[in-house]
Amino acid sequence: MNAAPHSALLPALRPDLARIADWIEPGSRVLDLGCGDGTLLAYLRDARQVRGAGIEIADPCVIRCVQRGVEVIQQNLEEGLALFDDRAFDTVVLSQTLQSMHRTEHILREMARVARFGVVSFPNFGYWPHGWSILRGRMPVTGQMPYQWHNTPNIHLCTLRDFEDLAGQLDLRLTGRATFNGDREVRFLPGWRSTLAVYRFACP
């Protein structure tokens, strides 16, 4: 499931966003769930002529999207994607948001309904210092998960294998995987050594 190397056009993006951009076909239709300030959609529009839209709840991020000229809908993702018809998009992206969703299976099913392909990224709870922290009696606090147990938005943490198992249960065919530790891509023992995982899947 290894992907092609990053395009030379992507140095301005974070490595995980650059990999996501590599997986999206030029000229395609993209929906970015929890799109933040619109960085990825603006890049895809300018570099890959993508027709994109985002969903975001935070006022400052919505304002920044509008300033970038990114089409954005202000909505809570927990309400689902009922606004969109089946296969309305080629690719739907959920970047570093899956772990904060209350209804994980529901949002993945909705992604599979509205697009041909999905991309998700999430913190890897299997990163080995997390286990060491738990053995010492503490919940992990790292750069990828910088919150204390009492104020974290992360409610559904998982490992790479956990996600792959769930994808199989939902009939999502995994077609790409990339794992990162900071700005470095991790290829050796990614389940232990990566802090962030990015997956691409084909929808049934």
Domains of the chain, by residue range, sit at 15-202
Q: Is the pLDDT of residue 66 over 80?
A: yes
How sure is the predictor about 2, in pLDDT bands with cuts at 50, 70 and 90?
very low
**How much is the pLDDT for 129?**
74
Q: Is the pLDDT of residue 116 over 80?
A: yes
Give tens-digit pLDDT for 133-146: 766 676 666 655 56
**How much is the pLDDT for 95?**
95
**How much is the pLDDT for 151?**
55
How sure is the predictor about 12, in pLDDT bands with cuts at 50, 70 and 90?
confident
Q: Is the pLDDT of residue 39 over 50?
A: yes
* Tokens matching residue 194: 């990566």
**How much is the pLDDT for 148?**
60
Q: Is the pLDDT of residue 11 over 90?
A: no
* Amino acid, res. 77: L
| Spatial separation of the C-alpha atoms in residues 108 and 133, rounded to whole Å | 30
CATH architecture entry for 15-202: 3-Layer(aba) Sandwich (3.40)
Core vs surface per residue 132-148: b (16+ CB within 10 A) or e: eeeeeeeebeeebbeee
**How much is the pLDDT for 156?**
80
Give tens-digit pLDDT for 71-98: 999 999 988 899 999 999 999 999 999 9
Can you list the alpha helix ranges (DSSP code H) found in the chain? 15-22, 39-48, 59-68, 104-114, 128-135, 160-169, 190-193
**How much is the pLDDT for 127?**
87
**How much is the pLDDT for 155?**
72
